[in-house]
Amino acid sequence: AEVDGGAWLLDVRDNFALVALSCVVTKLGDLPHALWVKESDVEPVRSERYDLSSVGRVKMNSRLDLSTPDTARELRREDIISVIRTMIDLRNGKGDIDDIDHLGNRRVRSVGELMENQYRIGLLRMERAIRERMSSVEIDASMPHDLVNAKPAAAAVREFFGSSQLSQFMDQTNPLSEITHKRRLSALGPGGLTRERAGFEVRDVHPTHYGRICPIETPEGPNIGLINSLATYARVNQYGFIESPYCKVVKGKVTEEIEYLSAMDEGKYTIAQANAALTKSGKFSDELVSCRSNGDFVMTGPETVDYIDVSPKQLVSVAASLIPFLENDDANRALMGSNMQRQAVPLIRSEAPLVGTG
């Protein structure tokens, strides 16, 4: 039997584009008049309270295969259409669903960014106070210093450094403990996970951690896998994604040109290990080379290799790389060793050791 759609559905059928655009704009916070939506030629989203951010634009370009410059920080019609197209493709079995634990989908929020967010809250409070003050006094007879009270902004900064979850007193037991504390990555804190809610998948080592986050150095208690260390040569790029360095390989020959790749970029290339056998001219001496390609370990010919690791210790953190003959140790004992090195108390007058390793 045919379903009776009623007058509303019949009306929607005639004005589907208008209703769809109206719904989008309404969902995003403004209640538009139907004629205004139809006649206006403005973007669906443009507001002083909305910011896609340059990171959001880069990720959207990457996921939806767009080429919009990262200065376009509003949602556009093309973006919404591309998102719907991608969702339909996924529903029809085309493409892959995103892996939430992939480092291409996780980014480092630096102290500066967190500070900026807190300061913005302080400025909004200050703005509200100024507006209230302006409405209650005579503007002509008032000076700017009578209207502006900077206390909310200053209080937000003090609160951030004094009582934030991530504000810690620096560990200075020895030089290693200090450098490790400065290179720490935490999934906890405001906007992050909680110990109780974090499952096994979030804490586990992911293939994209290679050369970016140390798989060994992490606490043993309830924070295991939630607090990590940057790998020895890793760096954080302008968008907050962790990058690792690789030497470029051209026609089977290793060059001295070093490139930093993010987890998103690394998946496109075949990368050999640092201990691969090379001739004096820098070419691979074996017919088959052990490589990483798209998250898997494969054996491939030298001509298909794009990059090679810069060092075997780029896999681990500074503390783990100090363990002699690390490759012969059990992973659990190496974890304990890298954590306990940070607790060693240095001598006041240091002396050369009687027994050395290495």
Statement: residue 21 has pLDDT above 80: no
Statement: residue 358 has pLDDT above 80: no
Query: What is the distance in angstroms between the CA of the first residue and the CA of the last residue of the chain?
Result: 83
The pLDDT tens digits for 249-280 are 999 999 999 999 999 999 999 999 999 999 99
The pLDDT tens digits for 101-160 are 999 999 999 999 999 999 999 999 999 999 988 888 887 778 888 888 889 999 999 999
Q: Where are the domains of the chain?
A: 7-41, 52-92, 111-163, 175-232+327-342, 245-309
Confidence of residue 2 (pLDDT cuts 50, 70, 90): very low
Lowest mean pLDDT among 28-32, 293-297, 300-304, 346-350: 28-32
Question: What CATH number has the domain spanning 245-309?
Answer: 2.30.150.10
Confidence of residue 1 (pLDDT cuts 50, 70, 90): very low
